[in-house]
């Protein structure tokens, strides 16, 4: 018995086909972002964060002073670290996409029961929004609120760790480095 399916000519993928597929994917992603993530309000001119993370006092990024302090070195080191407008916009988008202003604090009893733990604290100061500070430990119970919070802090950590100034810091020392 002769199978017709094996005799078909191979399909030729053209540039027009690829361009059309790419446009459809981009439109679908744009629609998804608009539908599920919603529009992000414009970042206020007066927008700053203070982000502290790590064991004990940890490390701190303070965009008010344009500094980053590494407290896991002896002695602690503070360097100048200025975020670009694009980096600040990415943080602002992450704050809104992850509903920072609606997040609940982590259960304090849980936070005290895990030792030692990495603490992450994010303080957001934005004109027209309430000043808000949230602290959580990692690993947590990973409920939806924690996942959203760590989405934001992971965005900030990635920005910090990709800065040339950060890469020149000496490696952390100590037991919890």
How many structural domains is the chain composed of?
Answer: 1
Q: Alpha-carbon Rg of the chain, whole angstroms?
A: 23
Instruction: Provide the residue range defining the domain that includes 59.
Output: 47-167
Helix (H, G, I), strand (E, B) or coil at 106: coil
Nearest Cα neighbor of 71 from 61, 54, 59 is 59
Q: Would 93 be classed as within a structural domain?
A: yes
**CATH number of 124's domain:** 3.30.1560.10
Q: Would 62 be classed as within a structural domain?
A: yes
Residue that has been written with the tokens 């947590």 in this structure: 140
Nearest Cα neighbor of 123 from 28, 39, 52 is 52
Tell me, yes or no, if the pTM score tops 0.75.
no
Q: How far is CA 46 from the centre of its chain?
A: 20
For residue 50, the cross-strand partners are 62, 123
Q: Would 136 be classed as within a structural domain?
A: yes
Helix (H, G, I), strand (E, B) or coil at 142: coil
| Mean pLDDT split into 10-residue runs, the chain, 177 residues | 58 74 68 60 93 84 95 82 96 93 74 68 95 83 80 95 91 61
> Tokens standing for 108?
């304090």
Give the per-residue pLDDT at 71.
80
Q: Would 173 be classed as within a structural domain?
A: no
Q: Would 162 be classed as within a structural domain?
A: yes
Q: How far apart are CA 90 and CA 154, in angstroms?
A: 12
Cα 137 to Cα 16, 68, 132, 142, 155: the distances in Å are 50, 20, 17, 10, 16
Q: Would 172 be classed as within a structural domain?
A: no
Q: Would 176 be classed as within a structural domain?
A: no
Q: Would 81 be classed as within a structural domain?
A: yes
């Amino acid at each position: 018995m002769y199978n017709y399916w094996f005799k078909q000519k191979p399909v030729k993928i053209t540039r027009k086909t690829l361009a059309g597929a790419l446009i459809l994917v981009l439109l679908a992603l744009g629609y998804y972002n608009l539908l599920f993530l919603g529009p992000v309000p414009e970042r206020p001119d007066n927008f700053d964060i203070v982000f502290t993370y790590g064991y004990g006092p940890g490390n701190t990024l303070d965009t008010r002073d344009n500094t980053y302090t590494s407290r896991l070195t002896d002695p602690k080191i503070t360097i100048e670290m200025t975020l670009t407008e694009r980096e600040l916009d990415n943080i602002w988008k992450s704050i809104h996409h992850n509903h920072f202003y609606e997040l609940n604090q982590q259960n304090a009893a849980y936070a005290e029961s895990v030792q030692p733990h990495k603490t992450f604290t994010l303080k957001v100061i934005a004109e027209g929004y309430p000043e808000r500070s949230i602290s959580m430990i990692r690993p947590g119970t990973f409920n939806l609120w924690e996942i959203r919070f760590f989405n934001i802090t992971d965005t900030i950590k990635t920005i910090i760790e990709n800065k040339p100034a950060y890469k020149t810091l000496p490696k952390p020392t100590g037991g919890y480095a």
